[in-house]
Structure 1
Amino acid sequence: MGGSSNVKPVISKIYCSSSPTTLTVRKRPHVINGGGFVVMNASHGAVFVVEGCGILGVKGELALKDGDGGLILSISKRGGIAQALSTRRRWSGYLTDFEGRKKSVFSLTDPKCPMSNAIRIHLESSGHSGGWDFQVHGSFVDRTCTIEDYSGDIVAQLGATDMVGGKELYQVTVQAGYDQAFIVGVLAVLDNIHGESTRC
């Protein structure tokens, strides 16, 4: 794991690597543990698990866990009348402390038509005044999208895998120093927006 000044944690520096890391994402059928997906390292070990409403029983609620099943992040979509009237949906990722208090880490606002605009992400701890910190470009459905920071640097890139599995498998390469758990949290929201494995 990275220990230099180039580490850019969003959730924790323990999820940042000192070199680029390619992870494999495997979608789970809804009949197995309620769907969601598993994120594996090069040794095919599970490093992250994302659960959707098949497990949680609530639409618009996602859970990001580590490979041992420990909760890292809760992700929820804002609801209510104001949300229904809005042209954009807002998602938020929360850390929960040992006393059960939630702390917002990031928010993601997407257009109701996901193909029309870049999806922008705001960090609660952001130190700059640009209004957003990261954005998603390209097609998540085709696995040809990138996540870039506000200066235009590519932070993570999706791509097809040469493993057997078709659309059920894809890869994401996270650049050195960036928070892999945060990137997987963003993928969880993209998966749900596009009606894939986390959606009931």
Structure 2
Amino acid sequence: MAAPIVSKIYCSSSQMMLAVRRRPHVVSGGGFVVTDCSQKVVFMADGCGIVGKPGELILRDGDGNALLLISRKALSMRKQWNGYAYDYEGLQKIVFCVTELSSFLSRNTPIRISVDLSRGCGRDWNFEIRGYFPERNCSIVDRQGNAIAQIGVKEEVGKVTRSKDLYHVVVKPRVDQAFVLGVVAVLDYIYDESTRC
């Protein structure tokens, strides 16, 4: 990935491991908080419990400023999610779309991401989800099969602890972390987790 999708300030020259912690629906309306290795909050995803509209999500930076508005658009054969970034004037510009190619959620349902939107969303894809998000065992890969981000769980000596409440996202160098967490927020909603009401 050569160019940033949301902003170059979210592209690190080194690999980043981010911890994702689910927020309870009863306390804060759902969503999740993302911290870096020093436990500093770097992103927050607000689900429909906070936003107030089913099918809408907001990704914020660590200071609470909105970075992405993500909204679901129902189409006949597929479900599509559009990610809109805010420019310096506060206007929204579509920067990516996530498309589910089937109405049945299964391990084999292709979920593809488009960032080159010159021909429209879903016509050409740049990235794909490989693996199964509910098990916290998946990757975002480019068309050549190179992983740009991996979602997993912490492995302790001799065992793996799987939790929907805490997992990690490893983002490769020079990859836009805000874009990756926007895609994670969509996956979270698709699979009926913390961002969904």
Whether TM-score is above 0.5 comes out as: yes
Q: Distance in 1 between matches of 2:125 and 2:163?
A: 33
Aligned Cα RMSD in Å?
Answer: 2.0
Q: Distance in 2 between matches of 1:165 and 1:145?
A: 13
**Cα offset, 1:105, TM superposition:** 0.4
Mapping 1:17-166, distance limit 5 Å: 17-79=12-74, 83=75, 86-110=76-100, 111-115=102-106, 116-124=108-116, 131-162=124-155, 166=163
**Cα offset, 1:172, TM superposition:** 0.7
* Pairing partner for 2:4 from 6, 9, 23: 9
Q: Is the 8 A contact 1:104 1:124 kept in 2?
A: no
Q: Distance in 2 between matches of 1:146 and 1:198?
A: 20
Taking structure 2 as the reference length, what is the TM-score of the superposition? Answer: 0.89
* Pairing partner for 1:178 from 167, 175, 179: 175
Structure 1 unpaired stretches of 5+: 1-5
Q: Distance in 1 between matches of 2:51 and 2:125?
A: 29
Larger CA deviation: 62-71 vs 101-110 = 101-110
SS at match of 2:79: strand
Q: Is the 8 A contact 2:116 2:124 kept in 1?
A: no
Amino acid at match of 1:89: K
Q: Distance in 2 between matches of 1:125 and 1:195?
A: 27
**Cα offset, 1:96, TM superposition:** 2.4
**Cα offset, 1:131, TM superposition:** 1.1
* Pairing partner for 1:190 from 182, 187, 192: 187
Deviations 1:68-101 (A, max 9, x none): 100001000014xxx3xx2310100001235443
Residue matched to 1:3: none
Structure 2 unpaired stretches of 5+: none
Q: Is the 8 A contact 2:136 2:162 kept in 1?
A: no
Q: Distance in 2 between matches of 1:40 and 1:63?
A: 17
SS at match of 2:27: coil
Q: Give the percent of matched residue pairs that are identical in Structure 1 and Structure 2.
A: 48
Q: Distance in 1 between matches of 2:194 and 2:155?
A: 21
How many residue pairs get aligned? The number is 188
Deviations 1:121-165 (A, max 9, x none): 0114579xx811000011000011010011211100111025888
